[in-house]
Amino acid sequence: MKKYFSIQIIFLISGFLLISLFYEIGKAIDFGLGFLAVLIPNAFFAINLSILKKIVVRAEVKLVSFFLGEIIKVIFIMILLYLFSKIFYPLDWIIFIAGLFISLKATYMLPLLAKKI
């Protein structure tokens, strides 16, 4: 789990630096907000899973709390997307969605980059 989040942080920092280098800092902030809209709920879900793994309960309870946690994570992502779009009003949606998409796809880079980290 530490490798997963370290890869996501590396993608966040590198994307933020590249966008701020080639564009303006406002677009880099939009990228970071889109990225964080997925990263924050994923972190809470991972903490929930690690706690759930350590406690001794029946398998049915673990399964139900896994899916309940996943539903809460998706709702939390939608709430963050809405709040970020309202608070940071002149939002560049393409950069924002790109940050969201890269955050979602960073997990697929884990097998490629995990041995190097």
Domain residue extents for the chain: 2-107
- Output the CA–CA distances (angstroms, integers) from residue 69 to 23, 31, 90, 97, 108, in the order listed: 37, 26, 32, 23, 21
Instruction: With 0.75 as the threshold, say if the pTM is over it.
Output: yes
Residues near 78 by Cβ (< 8 Å), separated by ≥ 6?
none
- Residue ranges of alpha helices (H) inside 23-92 are 25-54, 59-87
Q: Would you write out the chain's pLDDT as a tens digit for each of its 117 residues? A: 677 788 888 889 999 999 999 998 999 999 999 999 999 999 999 888 888 888 888 888 888 989 999 999 999 999 999 999 999 888 889 999 999 999 888 878 777 766 655
* Cα gap 28→8, rounded to integer Å: 16
